[in-house]
Amino acid sequence: MSKAVLQKLQATFGAAVLETHSQFGDDTAVVEPSRWLEIATFLRDDPACAFEMMSDLCGVDRFDVTPRFEVVIHLNSLSKGHRIRLKTRVGDEDGEGAQVASLVGLWKTANWLEREVFDMFGITFQTHPDLRRILMYPEFVGYPLRKDYPAEKTQPLVAYRTEEEAGVPLDKQAPFGPHEGMSFARNDFTKRAEDAN
């Protein structure tokens, strides 16, 4: 049934569907970024497609290819029992211009998933209601899942906020005592190896 969805997409959107393929049971369509929201809306609202659920949204850094990034969503139709993968490609070789329409208005699931992709790859989702970092702290420099992010990079140290800056009591916890926390951190494995010999 998902192959029929791919055929319907090609018939409806023509050249805006750049390619389709079906490998290992995954039916995939790659579409123009300018038509991303329109095609996603069609997949949700068309009675024959009826993709009520977005199960995932992620980014892919293709690094040596232009457009550099892929935005990928996985859609499921609970009523029809089929699924599809939809992709679009954005950004130049340096990652500039990596932007696409937000899908939060279609599936609420997209909210935090788009924020994660923004945080990790720097892809901007236009009209997202609250596009800001979700995993990294606000002062973090760069995008850690880009393939050109330097593994040895040191981030700027950021001082802890005071209670006055936060405007609320922070109730900071004291460090772990000698019998608290992760037990493996207190183990002396070299002593155990010596005792075994």
Q: Where are the beta strands (DSSP E) in the chain?
A: 17-23, 26-31, 53-61, 69-77, 82-90, 99-101, 124-126
Sequence ranges of the domains in the chain: 2-168
Pair 144, 136: CB distance under 8 Å: yes
Task: Inform me whether the pLDDT recorded for 182 exceeds 60.
Answer: no
**Per-residue confidence at 152, pLDDT binned at 50, 70, 90?**
confident
Q: Which residues of 22-34 are buried (b: 16+ CB within 10 A; e: fewer)?
A: eeeeebbbbbebe
Q: Give pLDDT, residue 177.
A: 63
In CATH terms, the fold of domain 2-168 is Beta Polymerase; domain 2 (3.30.460)
CA distance 73 to 54: 7
**Per-residue confidence at 77, pLDDT binned at 50, 70, 90?**
very high
pTM reported for the whole predicted model: 0.79
Listed range (57-61, 90-94, 118-122, 179-183) with the worst mean pLDDT: 179-183
Task: Inform me whether the pLDDT recorded for 94 exceeds 80.
Answer: yes
